[in-house]
Structure 1
């Protein structure tokens, strides 16, 4: 199996000769035999995502924040894993969602779990707030970027901080920002305009007027649009919300879709015209 679909896409593989230099070049039969061990040049890091997840959507509303992400992890262009959960509860007031490399996302979850465990061991009654978790994540992502070994993810951090909904973004370059609506991946181009328009229709500070049921409908519609237009998405997604009462991550669901309109397009269905 070709484990590097993007670097040698469309090319034949020869695991014996490896003419496309997929693997680091090494000589000899190992350090013990006087040769050059393949790990002698240092630890080799993945600099290209292999199994990836696509968009994560975030939307503030009156009582908290909602995140939405589909359950697909793609191996190159293959829809390989169809039950991957990309929304993760960090604490009773904080959750994250990630697109990008799923192996790096697993490592980020382990780091956050260790961080929260260290905090609980102190038994001082303090729990890291959402803004503090975000600051930690932004420092981690920027530090890894500075070492030229980034976590290949875009992460949304959502929660309720001091009674106010909190939603912010950090990516593999350490770029951070906060907004009432945020999207990663193709969602930046396809879903973000829908989210912004929904808030703008409510007037200034629209997120403070948006009801929970309406926020859910907006995200469901945006996820349906992504399924139509993003080839790396799946019509099976989760919606999670965080309020003052805590974090709730819903079970996978699907939005109703219809492809009947394709028959009315030239070049599809029963059309006699071909282009």
Structure 2
């Protein structure tokens, strides 16, 4: 029987809401429930769900370029075809991500909050590309140590003290820097192309590479990925960071040629060919 109806109008009775009295009756300031029934719905991500594939990064003499396609796959389904996987962090820094897109959204929120906190201080200081990279490496390693990683591989690109900066950090907190970096299948299919383009210029080949040449190399690598990576798309963006700032291009498509498939067994009406 409800002896104090005036205290419970507009809400369920205590014995209906919490029949086993797991919550304290009088929740004063600082009191916490003995048991959180809603915590059962909080779970760690066991595997990536909606994913993006390779991100490519390449240094050139005036800055850094990143390239990533616009596909986010739901398993083997090419589900979302206008996903932007390169994000500007500051006037001199951008981040590209492969892996789980929901986790990348959370990483972006964290970075935006970090940059907002810095701006609020109004001390004239802005986080450098190297500092953002160190922050991400600590975040990724901390989440890995809790067995609840962000399922991403991230490329951090920008200018650090006026010099081109390109670095990698993944869900295990593994970090390194290099003149050319690729994630996903790009590590196997595109990275050899990027390295070959730099090696033929000799030591420190990236220091003689122009922006137009870097763009051509990346476009060719993205075309190869479209041919060979089943989770890629022939719609991609190329982003550039130089002393003038960050520029993220609109989606574009590399020209492809499938005429060679006419001579393959099982393609179209050419079953008689090998």
What per-residue deviation string (whole Å, max 9, x for no partner) do you get for residues 18-65 of structure 1? Answer: xxxxxxxxxxxx984559987455721212111000000000001000
* Offset, 1:271: 3.1
2:104 matched to 1:95? no
> Which residue matches 1:176?
175
Residue 267 of structure 1 deviates from its aligned partner by: 3.3
Cross-structure match for 2:123: 124
Is the Cα contact below 8 Å between 2:264 and 2:271 reproduced in 1?
no
Q: Residue 43 and residue 263 in structure 1: after superposition, are their counterparts in 2 closer, same or farther (change >3 A)?
A: same
Secondary structure of the equivalent of 2:172? coil
1:167 matches 2:166: yes
The CA deviation at 1:269 is 3.5
* C-alpha separation in 2, matches of 1:121 and 1:240: 28
> Is 2:46 aligned against 1:69?
no
What TM-score results when the alignment is normalised by the length of structure 2?
0.85
Q: What is the alpha-carbon distance in structure 2 between the residues aligned to residue 257 and residue 267 of structure 1?
A: 20
The structure 1 segments of at least 4 consecutive aligned residues displaced by more than 4 Å after TM superposition are: 33-42
Give 1:7's aligned residue.
Answer: none
Question: Whole-Å Cα distance in 2 between the matches of residues 259 and 38 of structure 1?
Answer: 57
Match of residue 29 from structure 2: none
Q: 2:198 maps to what in 1?
A: 199
For residue 215 of structure 1, what is the aligned residue in structure 2? Answer: 214
Aligned length: 246
Q: Which residue of 2 aligns with 1:189?
A: 188
Greater shift, 261-270 or 116-125, is seen at 261-270
C-alpha distance in structure 2 between counterparts of 1:214 and 1:101, whole Å? 31
Note the C-alpha offset of 1:265. Answer: 2.0
**Within 1, Cα distance between the matches of 2:270 and 2:253?**
30
Q: List aligned pairs for 1:13-162, cutoff 5 A.
A: 32=18, 39-41=38-40, 43-162=42-161
Q: Using the alignment, how far apart are the partners of 2:273 and 2:237 within structure 1?
A: 39
Cross-structure match for 1:252 = 251
What do you get for the CA RMSD once the two structures are aligned? 2.0
Measured against aligned partners, the alpha-carbon deviations of 1:98-127 in whole angstroms (never above 9, x if no partner) come to 000000000000000000000011111110
Match of 1:242 in 2: 241
* Structure 1: runs of 5 or more not aligned: 1-29
| Conserved 8 A contact 2:153-2:170 | yes
TM superposition shift of 1:270:
3.5
Question: Deviations along 1:155-196, whole A, 9 cap, x unmatched?
Answer: 000000011100000000000000000000000000000000
Structure 2 counterpart SS, 1:202:
coil
Distance 1:188 1:164 in 2: 24
- Structure whose alpha-carbon radius of gyration is higher: 2
- Give the conservation status (yes or no) of the 8 Å contact 1:31–1:37: no
**SS of 1:174's equivalent?**
coil
CA deviation after TM superposition for structure 1 residue 274, in Å:
8.5
TM-score normalised by the chain length of structure 1: 0.85
